Structure 1
Amino acid sequence: MKAVSALAAVRHLLDTGAVRRGDTLLDSSSGIYAYALALACHRYGMRCHIVGSTTVDRTLRTQLAVLGATLEQMEPCSDLKLDQKRRVERVHEILAEHPEYHWMRQYHDDVHYLGYRAIADRIREAVGGAGGAGGGAAGLTLVGGVGSGASTGALARYLRGADDPARPPADVELVGVQPYGSLTFGAEHVPDPEIIIAGIGSSIPFGNVSHELYDTLHWISFDAALAGSVDLLRRHAVFAGLSTGAGYLAARHERERAPERTVLFIAADTGHRYVDTVYARHREAKALTDLAPREVADQRQLALPWSRMRWNRAPAPAGPQMRAFRARGSPGWPLRAMLEA
């Protein structure tokens, strides 16, 4: 999924003179973005340096090596929050040693929104417009893991017409999917006994998450996402990752609530790195008919395995980490200039 984002970001940096061919691009990743950035660097003649999560598997390590990327992988760690913190600290150490490296800041730089404009255009064509009515007379509901905020945030902005003031307002609802334990929408106080689903949550504030874009949030546990992934393969022959299983659950529910709307969900990656941790446990998967979200009014009511809350395009939740981050402001590129580029 992030290949479109990384390719557009690197091309923009080259076009604007922010980097030159042969420069080294640096970032941290739990998997998908590492592969995407390595592909982009290979295409445009750049060097790629990745600080990888402990979850990066042998298959991805091999792919990165073939593409010529340098990978520094964190030591095994049972706490993905600590893993994320250590990766960010290592990035800063590398920048101190190599100030000539360009840090891509996939979590904080709006340059990563650019690649999704073309995807939004394809969605408009596929669902019959997504402009004016937003995917037919009843509108479009977009479902996806929040993660860094770039994919769902960018698609919602473009589909709603942020890049074209002349286009009529579109009826596009954005539904974000989060793991328990994620800080982004205020669920850090509810741990998942299994794992935080890598890639769709965060233990640190992300500047690319625009909370005001989201209409609804689903918090989905590892066990529920596992059931979604297994059902998706059995029912639709789609072999995808754990975040896709979570998105599939949320999308099915939103479709049942509003069958008149077109519902689209993002399947971020394939299931290969989840063979042992998810698909080998397929006998444990619950039937989807046994799963339903608990409707909550605020984060204090969150409970495993699945909770749903209307967000109503509210600002970021109050909290010391989020307040400190927002006080600093996002270090990213000015979004309006990016949308108009």
Structure 2
Amino acid sequence: MPVISAPYAFNEEDLYVDLRPVLGCRLFLKCEGFNFAGSVKLKAAAAMVEAAEQEGVLTPRSALVESSSGNLGVALSVIAASKGYKFLCVTDSRCNLATRLIMEALGSQVHVINDPEPHGTYLAARLDYVRELCASDSRWVWLSQYTNPANWRAHYRSTAPAIARRFPKLDVLFVGAGTTGTLMGCARYFRHWHRPVHIVAVDSVGSVTFGGPSGRRMIPGLGMGVRPPLLDESYVDEAVMVEEADTIRSCRQLARRGFLFGGSTGTVVSGAAQWLARHDDPSVTAVAIAPDLGERYLDTVYQDNWVQALYDNTPAPTRRTA
């Protein structure tokens, strides 16, 4: 077992779940939530902070600010607490309450945007707030996960090589698309690998990342209200769009088998299962990346009243009935 002195020094890299007993198709799920931030975002957060320190942008007198729907905010809260930085997370009303409480418990400040920009999005309003704050005081340092190349480089150096070592005959990789840091890092790595890997991006209906119309999205994590600057579609073979109701069904299907995953993971699993069902090739070796765990979604994805209030076709309840 490793012995660490900093919370960002540990991340479980080699845990996979074989989902055949759950889904009936051959899919291996790479679990990225077993670290002190509870999600894959710890990798990007650590890489961006390290790059800013090395470049001299981030100094002991600096204060961090970042726009996040939740998971990156928690990851930066972990790192800021460990390194002694002040951190302000700018989020919006869709951020899970548990996520906000975790950030505050770690000593971070949380500013919640309750209204989108006129004729705009919550993300646009969040970014406007961050820009105004940075303009008002030079001590604020914005890492900008949406444009920072350290975001995708973290996965080029860690996530993708770990998958390649475990699955040398990998055929298909499913990656959720948010900022597209994980997607771009993995896609770039496998483009330069010794054998072709089909890269499938999984996104939420209502996201504009791959050119679809903007729509309501209530589950934080994947999807964007503006096109992600990090995205280079030439590295992506295809994109699968998932309805939020299907995300919830997948989360609850996994929970009924003892695997409590978060909304982003539910979206990726749903998209992967749809793709594999259409292609129906039992010889395919497929891996999907699970970005998060489910504890932060107990009052949303796993809460029947929340689901029924938002969706017409309510997924089956998590608990089993006699």
Question: Which residue of structure 1 aligns with residue 63 of structure 2?
Answer: 24
SS at match of 2:252: helix
Task: Encode CA deviations 1:97-148: one digit per residue, 9 max, x unaligned.
Answer: 1133211110111111222111222112211x3xxxxxx1xx4311122110
Aligned pair 1:259/2:286, yes or no?
no
2:311 aligned with 1:269: no
Specify whether residues 274 and 94 from structure 1 end up closer, same or farther in structure 2 by C-alpha distance, changes over 3 A only: same
The residue aligned with 1:311 is none
Shift in Å, 1:272: 2.3
Task: Report what 1:188 is aligned to.
Answer: 213
Structure-1-length-normalised TM-score? 0.72
Residue identity opposite 1:155 in structure 2? C
Is residue 185 of structure 2 the alignment partner of residue 154 of structure 1? yes
Residues 260-287 of structure 1, C-alpha deviations (whole Å, 9 max, x = no match) = 2221112122222322322123893269
Q: Which runs of 5+ in 2 are unaligned?
A: 1-39, 309-313, 318-322
- CA distance in structure 2 between the aligned counterparts of 1:248 and 1:230, rounded to whole angstroms: 11
What is the letter of the counterpart of residue 119 of structure 1?
T
Q: Deviations over 1:169-220 (max 9, x none)?
A: x31111111222222111125x35xx35422111122211121111111111
Deviation of 1:91 (Å): 0.8
**Cα distance change on mapping 1:147 and 1:80 into 2, 3 Å:** farther
Q: Which residue of 1 aligns with 2:145?
A: 106
Asked whether 1:123 is paired with 2:154, we answer: no
Of 216, 226, 231, 2:238 maps to: 216
1:35–1:81 Cα change, 3 Å: farther
SS of residue in 2 equivalent to 1:198: coil
Tell whether 2:221 aligns with 1:199: yes
The partner residue of 1:175 within 200, 206, 225 is 200
Q: Distance in 2 between matches of 1:30 and 1:80?
A: 20
Residue 315 of structure 2 corresponds to residue 285 of structure 1: yes
1:146/1:200 contact within 8 Å kept: yes
CA contact (8 A) 1:14 1:21 kept: no
- Contact 1:25–1:48 at 8 Å: present in 2 too? yes
Question: Does the CA contact (< 8 Å) of 2:200 and 2:238 recur in 1?
Answer: yes
Letter in 1 for 2:233: H
Q: How many residues align?
A: 268
1:185 is matched by which residue type in structure 2? Answer: F
CA distance in structure 1 between the aligned counterparts of 2:233 and 2:120, rounded to whole angstroms: 21
**Within 2, Cα distance between the matches of 1:21 and 1:156?**
35
Letter in 1 for 2:152: Y
Is contact 1:9-1:114 (8 Å) kept? no
Q: 8 Å contact 1:10–1:41 — kept in the other structure? A: no
| Distance (Å, rounded) in 1 between the aligned partners of 2:112 and 2:180 | 24
CA-to-aligned-CA distance 1:290-328 (integer Å, 9 cap, x gap): xxxxxxxxxxxxxxxxxxxxxxxxxxxxxxxxxxxxxxx
Distance 1:141 1:230, change over 3 A: same
Once the two structures are TM-superposed, the CA of residue 15 in structure 1 deviates from its matched residue by: 2.1
For structure 1, which segment, 15-24 or 178-187, has the greater mean C-alpha deviation from structure 2 after superposition? 15-24
Distance 1:113 1:142 in 2: 16
Instruction: Measure, in 2, the Cα distance between the counterparts of 1:48 and 1:109.
Output: 18
**Which structure exhibits the higher relative contact order, with contacts defined as CA atoms closer than 8 Å and separated by 6 or more residues?**
2
- Whole-angstrom distance in 2 between the partners of 1:62 and 1:80: 30
- RMSD, matched Cα: 2.5
- Alignment-mate amino acid for residue 262 of structure 1: T
SS in 2 for 1:177: strand
Separation of aligned partners in 1, 2:160 and 2:121: 35
Q: Give the unaligned 5+ runs of structure 1.
A: 130-135, 162-166, 288-341
Shift of 1:81: 5.9
Q: Give, in whole Å, the separation in 2 of the partners of 1:205 and 1:39.
A: 28
CA distance 1:57–1:245, change in 2 (3 Å): closer
